[in-house]
Amino acid sequence: MKSCAIYYPYIEVPRNSWFTRVLLYWDEVGAIVPSEYIYDPQQLGTYMRELVKEQLVTQLVPGMYLYNLRNFATSFIQHLDKVYRRHPFQYRIPWVKVHMEKLREVGDMLVERDLARENPDDSGVWYEVEPRTANLFMAYLAAVLGQLVSGDRYYPITENERLLNPFIPHGTFKKEANVARKVILEGVLPSPTSAIQPGRLAEFKAKYGRELKAFRREIEKQVSEIATIENEDARIYRLDHTKGDLQEMVEEISSRMTEEKKWPTVTFGDFCAIAGSAVSGYKAILDKDLAFGLVAAGFGLAPAVFNAFKGSSVTLEDKPLAYAAIARRQFATKS
């Protein structure tokens, strides 16, 4: 089975060392793109178009998947209302643009709550959305959309660790009872210090794809196991030893990169995942027989995503809920 990631919160993927790392270690990487960008690809930047051409990025169009998911809007709004009841809302500026195809009927519900407004200059194509709300929605959209793609599932990935917060349980539950926790393996992902021309990157990935895939799967296996350790000191001890155990594979891959002519210097990035403790966040909701309406805010986005699929034929897979790395740029203006 492939390991696939879906990038959020922006349409355009970043041209930097972080995203180069994502392209190297995930089998497929998806980007959430409105349908009008498919018909008019010139709306995308040159780098993004080259990545699509080299089949390094797959464009995922929300309208192709969300049309028959009846609970998509209500599940998010219920979660949003609970979040803002627990944490009083304060307006933040500047507001960001989110395409209406992503929001669907959620847009009108946000307008009713003064969390979004239509922009007449954009012919109704874009909503302006309060930033905290936009971040929460894009995390939700990425999680839901990734489960709807036929074949292999896509799991949310972002370069901003802060944007993982919606997936982390909060509330009155004891720490030991959390269904998901953040696990970070520092300095284990070798990659060039800057973006690589997409054609050359595709060649490297084709040449060493087996090694890259094996390495990433081993890391994910270790992270999933570490997440099940309840004692914090024991988790830290296991993390330290895991980095040592992975060192041989890290050195092998980094040596392959240094052999490439005219590649930038190799650096080492962090692997960060929101992984289930004992079981995945989705399965934990079922196993603990929790009432969605009572615990949505306490358990982060996982119950909202789970509730979006009620009544559908989709079975949520038991894998880490989301991935991230440390941010390297400012919040953009379009989502």
Highest mean pLDDT out of 16-20, 55-59, 189-193, 302-306: 55-59
Query: What are 260's two structure tokens?
Result: 């490439």
CA 273 to chain centre: 9
Query: What are 63's two structure tokens?
Result: 């309208």
Reply yes or no on whether the pLDDT at 89 is more than 50: yes
The answer to whether residue 134 is domain-embedded is: yes
Residue 77: predicted pLDDT: 96
In degrees, rounded to 5, the angle at the alpha carbon of residue 167 between the alpha carbons of residues 141 and 138 is 25
The answer to whether residue 175 is domain-embedded is: yes
Averaged pLDDT for residues 143-166: 84
Residue 176: predicted pLDDT: 38
Residue of 167, 204, 188, 141 lying closest to 83 (CA atoms): 167
Tens-place pLDDT, residues 316-329: 765 666 666 443 33
Tens-place pLDDT, residues 195-227: 899 999 999 999 999 999 999 889 888 888 888
Tens-place pLDDT, residues 238-271: 988 998 889 999 999 999 999 998 888 998 888 8
The answer to whether residue 268 is domain-embedded is: yes
Domain count, the chain: 1
Q: What is the mean pLDDT of the chain?
A: 81
Whether the ω angle into residue 94 lies within 30 degrees of 0, i.e. cis, is yes
Does the reported pTM lie above 0.75? yes
Residue 90: predicted pLDDT: 67
Boundaries of domain holding 131: 4-324
C-alpha span between 255 and 62 (Å, rounded):
40
The answer to whether residue 211 is domain-embedded is: yes
Amino acid at 218: E
The answer to whether residue 331 is domain-embedded is: no
Half-sphere exposure of 90 (CA within 13 A, CB side): 2
